[in-house]
Amino acid sequence: MIDIKLIRENPTLYKDGAKAKRFDVDIDRLLEIDSQLAVFRQQLQDYATEKNLLGKSVANASAQDKKPLLEKLADIKKDESEINEKVKFLQPEFDAMMLTIPQPAAPEVPLGKDDTENVELRKWGKIRDFDFEPKDHIALGTLLDIIDVERGVKLAGTRNYFLKGDGALLHWAILRFALDTMVSRGYVPMAVPLLMRDEAMRGTAYFPGGEDQAYRMEKDELNLAGTAEVPVTAYHMGEILKQEQLPLKYCGLSTCFRREAGAAGKDTYGLYRIHQFDKVEQVVICENDQEKSKQYHQEILANSEAVLQALELPYRVVNVCTGDLGRGQIQKFDIETWMPSRKSFGETHSASRFYDFQARRMNLRYKAENGKNLFCHTLNNTVIASPRVLIPVLELYQNKDGSVNVPKVLQPYMGGKEIITAR
């Protein structure tokens, strides 16, 4: 959420920022309501002062003088009640609008309408040149009997699957390797709840706007989290931390649920866009310092690159354009890993910097050295998400006979197994 004072000072910045991010918001209406509420609050303050003075006068007045004073007091209370009703009418509209105002992108973010205009920053690794006709991950998974989409769809509907045997072991090995990597880098591991209250979804900026993508438990008024970012970032919601506690570095391993509403006909084949997956997510909560935020942004990006490099998967890093940014992100770097069956790079990681956008919504603060309570800055990035990452692993490590070599760093997690073969 944006500080309303900043919007008052420079409304054009937020109008242009919303337009660049392709969010339809009415800044003029917001400021009109803000102005009206300011007038009403001043009137209520004046009424409170006047009532206090009249109350003292009534207490010291003679019986003859009390009547007009009491009548005047009654008139003030009536006017006060009318103003309170106006505030009750306008405040919810103001609060709702404040939750929709996007944070303008950083100056270093490229202008663009969608992901086709993201800007490549660098590439790593060599794309494999096959000397045979490679199979895609579903063909490999079926041959090796480690992926079963047909029964997943039969039991749970479209975009569902089973991983079995070495497929399940490979999936868990990747997650455990990613988690161990983060722990070795000083991040605190967390097993998190998956059902979130609306407050946590709003606090992390998934609501409003992301309701269609969330699985909602109406009876309990809870939501299945689409990422561990929600519970991990909201872990300290409503708290005032100590400056010496910062930065807080967490990594959460969780199952994630996404409805993928509006994705009909898009990336429907295989394991790329599915309803349920597992992910290791990294979150940093730091001081209200833009330069430090930028440093941690590079750190969480480097963490994920280290995992992909250890897996020897070729990838590229892109600077996400304005039209592909979310409401709260001031800048985002995507990592896209090479997927032979797609003949292109596919997004596997998103590293986001928010400054105090999420913290304001969560009322997450820390007491600075000068004694002031400041809103924290938050950042997050995927460490690894599976089974999407199984696409490049299976496809790039395949052999001509359909067997798949196990990446060296994962072999200890699979009991020393070096190759997955058909049984």
Known catalytic membership, residue 273: yes
Cα-based torsion angle of the residue sequence 262, 266, 267, 271 in order, rounded to the nearest 10 degrees: 30
Please name the helix (run of DSSP H) or strand (run of DSSP E) that holds residue 290, with its range, or none.
Answer: helix 290-310
What tokens does 166 get? 């070495």
Active site residue 259: no
Q: Is 388 in the active site? A: yes
Question: Which amino acid would we find at residue 77?
Answer: K
347 catalytic residue (yes or no): yes
**N-term to C-term CA, the chain:** 54
Nearest to 284 by CA among 364, 173, 196, 180: 364
CA distance 296 to 285: 9
**Spatial distance between the Cα atoms of 330 and 135, rounded to a whole number of angstroms:** 39
- What does the DSSP 8-state code read for residue 162? E
Question: Which ranges of 61-110 would DSSP assign to H, the alpha helix?
Answer: 63-98
Which among 1, 271, 288, 47 has a CA at the least distance from the CA of 148? 271
**List 159, 258, 361, 365, catalytic entry:** 258
Residue of 159, 293, 388, 395 marked active site: 388
Strands (E), 182-328: 188-191, 195-196, 215-217, 222-224, 240-242, 248-257, 276-286, 315-319
Q: Which of 22, 185, 216, 273 is catalytic?
A: 273
Query: What is the per-residue burial (b if ≥16 Cβ within 10 Å, else e) of 340-355?
Result: bbbeebbbbbbbbbbb
Burial 128-140 (b: 16+ CB within 10 A, else e): beeeeebbbbbbb
Q: Annotated catalytic residue: which of 350, 360, 365, 395?
A: 350
CA distance to 20, 53, 78, 115, 269, per residue, from 111 (Å): 7, 58, 53, 11, 31
Active-site residue, selected from the candidate residues 50, 260, 347, 403: 347
Catalytic residue ranges: 258, 273, 347, 350, 388
